[in-house]
Structure 1
Amino acid sequence: MSDHLAAGYDLVIFDLDGVIYLIDKPIQGAAEAVERLRSGGTSIAYATNNASRRAADVAALLTGMGVKAAPAEVLTSAGAAAVLLAERFPAGAPVLVVGADALRAEVRDAGLNPVGSAEDGPVAVIQGYGPEVGWKILAEAALAVRAGATWFATNTDKTLPSPRGPLPGNGSLVAVLRTALDRDPDVVVGKPEPALFTTAAKQSEAKRPLAIGDRLDTDIEGAVGAGLDSLLVLTGVSGPADLLAAPPHRRPTFVAADLSALFRPAADARIPAPGDTSTGTSGKASGDTSTGTSGESGTGASGWRVTRDGDRAVLDGSGDPVDALRLLCGVTWDGVPLSAIEAGSPEAGELLHAWGI
C-alpha cells in the first residue's frame, strides 16, 4: 500500500510519553506501528523531553516493551542539555543538577562536575524531571541562581501522561523556582525548541521527516517551529478541545486516535478535513461548500456534517469522532469560538459533551 500517510516521509520522529508508552506501560499498537515502519524502510527516531533516563536506558526500556530501539535513535533533553552546557562552560566547571541520576550522569560525561549545593559555586543550574526532586534541592537551586548561576531547564512540560491521568511534570517543578525567583529560566533545551527535531533529521539525513506527539505545546509547537509536518495522536495529554482552540503555531498537519493512522490514507487524518463540492453527509470527505441564501455553508466527512452561519457552527450526523474533530477544526481555526458550537443530532451532543464543549 503506497498511498498511506507514512509513505510520504523518510523519517518518523516519535515522542515517547503518551505516544509509545504511558510511564512504563506500552500503548496498544505502538510496537506494531514501529515494526511496520522499519519493515517498509522508514527511519525511526525517538525524541523525548523526559530527562530522567539516558538514551541507552530509554532504548532498553523500549526494547523490553517490544518496541525496537537503538541508543543512537534516542534523543533526550538531558543529553541535549549536557551538550549545550559543555559548549558554554569549561571542562570541570561545577553545575548544580536538579533531577534524576540520569541527568547527573549526562553532565559528568560531558566533562562537567555535577554538584548538589549552592555552596559549591556552580556556574549553572540544570533542572530536569526526577521523581525524587524535593524542596531541599530546589532551595539550593534558587540560592545558586540568585548568586549568578545560569538557569537551564531541560523542558517545561507541565504534566506527564499516565494511565491514571496527567501527573506533575518538569514544568510544574520549574514553576516552583519561577515563583521563588520571579523570573523564567535563562535557557529551555527541549521541545518546543526545535533542536531535538533538527538533530534527529540531521543524523538520519532525512529529507522529509514527520514528527508524532501527544502534546500541542511541546511536540507540535516544536515541529511547527522546525518546519516539519506533524501528527497529533489522542493517546496522551492534548485532547479534542485543546486542538480546536489551538493557535496557528500549535496546529498539526494530521490528527488521529492512535498510530494506526500511519497506515491509512493521509487524507483521512489531515486537518482541517478536506472537502469537495458534492452534497451529502456520508462517505469520506464528501461535503457541501456552497453558500445558500441564509448565508450558511457546510462541509461533511464520514457521516458528520458541520454547518456554519457566521460565528456559529452546528455539528450533526454520526460517525468516527476524529472525522468530526477534523471538520470542526475547519471552523474553529477560522474564528468560530468553542462556545458557539452546537449539536444538531444526539450523537453530536454526546460527542461534544465528552470533549467538554
Structure 2
Amino acid sequence: MSARGLLGCDVPLATRYDLALVDLDGVAYRGHDPIDGAAEGLAGARAAGMRLVFVTNNASREPEAVAEQLSALDIPTRADEVMTAAQAAAELLATRVPTGEPVLVVGGAGLHTAVAAKGYRIVASADDAPVAVVQGYAAEIGWAQLAEAAYAVQRGAWHVASNLDLSLPTARGFAPGNGALVGAVRAATGVEPASAGKPSPTMYRLAVERAGATRPLVVGDRLDTDLAGARAGDIPGLHVLTGVSTARDAVLAEPGLRPHFLARDLRALLVPHPEPVAESGWWACRGAAARVVDGALELSGEPADDVDLVRVACAAAWDAVDGGAVLDPATVPDLLR
C-alpha cells in the first residue's frame, strides 16, 4: 500500500523495532485500573529486547509517580523510562525564553518540577510580569489560576500548553482534559497557544534521543494525538483498541491520523502483523475482505481474528478515499464492539 496505508511485519513488532514509545491512559492503564494484556505484552516485549519509554500528555505528575503506578500494575518501570508533556513543555520554553526569566506555571507538581529544572523562576501571578505562561492539567486548577494565565497572556506573555487533549480518560468515563482548560484562556484572550504535547512529535523525538534508539514504534489509543504525532514525526504507529479511538474511527481517519498497525491490545507487540493486499477489486487479509462500491463499504468473510476485518476495512476505505471516491460513513459499522 501507499505510505499512508497499513504496514505489514512478518516478525513480532518487538523484534522489528528497538524502542516502543508507549502512551499511558487507555493503553497501559485506564484511570487506576490495569488494561487486559498490558503487563503481559510489555513484559514480553522487554524479554524480546525492545526498550520502553512511556510518553504521556499528562503533565500533572512526576515521572517517579508514573513509574510507581506502572510498577504497581505489574509493569516494572524506572523514572527515566517516563517522558511527560511537562518535560516537553519545559524544553519548548527553552527555545525562546532565557534561563532565569519569570514563568507563570498553571499546573501540577510535574510541571512545576520540569520548569524549575530548566532554570526558570516560577511565579504565581500575572502581576509578577512573567514572560511566559506554561499550562498543564491538574485536578486542582480552578478559575483563579486560569484568570491569572489570561491576564498574563493579555499582557504579552507567551502561552505554552503541555498538550491540547480535550478529554481525559478516567475509570468513570471521559473528563475535561488540558485542552478544555487551555480553551478557557484562549477564549478570554484570543491568543492561540503553542503546544509541546502530542500530536506534536517533540516528546517522541526527545524520548528517542534519550534512549539512543534507531527503530522506534509509537503505541497509542488516540488517533488525534498518539497516531497523529507518529505521522508528524515519521515514526510507525500501532493503534491499540483499548482506549479513546475505536476501530471505526481508524477506518474513517484522515491521512494524517492513520495508524500503521492495528491491534486489540499490547499483546500485539509479540506477534507478526499481516498486510492487506489487493485482490480482484477487494482488499484481503487472512479470510477477511473489504471493498468500497458506490460510496459504500462492503465487508466479507469470517476471519479467525476480527482485527483482520478492521485491517481490510481500513485498506479499502483509505484506498478509495485517497483515490478521490466518497465514502459514506453510515456504511462503516462499529467493528470489534
Q: Mark yes or no: TM-score above 0.5.
A: yes
Give the match for residue 296 of structure 2: 312
Give, in whole Å, the separation in 2 of the partners of 1:202 and 1:49: 18
Decide whether the 8 Å contact of 1:86 with 1:111 is kept in 2.
no
Superimposed CA distance per residue, residues 70-103 of structure 1 (whole angstroms, 9 cap, x where no aligned partner): 1111111101212332453333322111111221
Q: Which residue of 1 aligns with 2:316?
A: 331
Contact conserved, 1:51 with 1:77, CA < 8 A, in 2?
yes
2:231 is the counterpart of 1:215: no
- 1:293 corresponds to: none
Structure 1 counterpart of 2:331: 341
Residue pairs, 1:187-226, within 5 angstroms: 187-226=194-233
* Larger Cα-atom Rg: 1
- Over 3 Å counting, the alpha-carbon distance change for 1:182 and 1:239 in structure 2 is same
Length-normalised TM-score, structure 1: 0.84
Q: Which has the higher mean CA deviation after the structures are superposed, 244-253 or 102-111?
A: 102-111
- Kindly report which structure 2 residues correspond to 1:96-107, keeping only aligned pairs within 5 A, or say none: 96-107=104-115
1:34-183 matches, within 5 Å, as 34-183=42-191
Say which is worse superposed, 21-30 or 307-316, in terms of deviation: 307-316
CA RMSD of aligned residues (A): 2.0
Q: Does the Cα contact within 8 Å between 1:11 and 1:42 map onto a contact in 2?
A: yes
- State the alpha-carbon separation in 1 of the partners of residues 37 and 201 from structure 2: 27
Which 10-residue stretch deviates more, 142-151 or 235-244?
235-244
1:47-81 deviation digits (Å, cap 9, x = unpaired): 11100112222112211222111111111110121
Name the residue aligned to 1:249. Answer: 256
Alpha-carbon contact 1:311-1:340 (below 8 Å) kept: no
Percentage of pairs with the same residue: 43
CA deviation string 1:271-302 (max 9, x = no partner): xxx136xxxxxxxxxxxx22xxxxxx323444
CA distance in structure 1 between the aligned counterparts of 2:242 and 2:251, rounded to whole angstroms: 16
State which drifts further: 76-85 or 135-144: 76-85
Equivalent residue for 1:286? none
Deviation for aligned residue 1:332:
1.9
SS of the aligned residue for 1:88 comes to coil
Name the CA shift for 1:4/1:147 in 2 (closer, same or farther; >3 Å). same
Contact kept in structure 1, 2:252 and 2:329, CA below 8 Å:
no
Query: After TM superposition, what 4+ stretches of structure 1 lie above 3 angstroms from structure 2?
Result: 299-305, 316-321, 353-356
Rate the CA distance shift 1:353–1:81 in 2: closer, same or farther, 3 A: closer
Determine the C-alpha separation between the residues in 2 that align with 1:179 and 1:87. 26
Is 1:214–1:232's contact at 8 Å kept on the other side of the alignment?
yes
Question: Given the two structures, how large is their TM-score scaled by the length of structure 2?
Answer: 0.89
- C-alpha distance in 1, partners of 2:21/2:329? 35
Answering whether residue 331 of structure 2 is matched by residue 322 of structure 1, we say no
Deviation of 1:46 after TM superposition, in Å, equals 1.1
- More off after superposition, 118-127 vs 88-97: 88-97
The amino acid that maps onto 2:114 is: E
* Alpha-carbon distance in structure 2 between the residues aligned to 1:193 and 1:262: 24
Shift of 1:181: 1.6
Cross-structure match for 2:267: 260
Q: Secondary structure at the match of 1:46?
A: strand
The one of the two structures with greater contact order (alpha-carbon pairs below 8 A, sep at least 6) is: 2
Q: Distance in 2 between matches of 1:107 and 1:299?
A: 50
Do the aligned residues in 1 keep the contact of 2:55 with 2:203 (CA within 8 Å)? yes
Find the residue that maps to 1:161 and give its secondary structure. strand
Q: Which amino acid aligns with 1:5?
A: L
- On the 8 A contact 2:295/2:328 being kept in 1, the answer is no
Separation in 1, partners of 2:69, 2:329: 43
Moved more, 301-310 or 74-83: 301-310
Match of 1:279 in 2: none
Q: 2:283 aligns with which of 270, 274, 299?
A: 299
Cα distance, 1:242 vs. partner?
1.6
Residue identity matched to 1:134? G
- Structure 2: gaps of 5 or more residues: 1-9
**Deviation at residue 355 of structure 1 after TM alignment:** 7.5
Q: Identify if the C-alpha distance between structure 1 residues 353 and 47 changes in structure 2 by more than 3 Å, giving closer, same or farther.
A: closer
Distance 1:122 1:19, change over 3 A: same
Bigger drift between 110-119 and 128-137 goes to 110-119
CA contact (8 A) 2:292 2:327 kept: no
CA distance in 1, matches of 2:15, 2:177: 34
* Paired residue type of 2:212: E
Cα distance in 2 for partners of 1:327, 1:111 equals: 51
Higher mean C-alpha displacement, 315-324 vs 226-235: 315-324
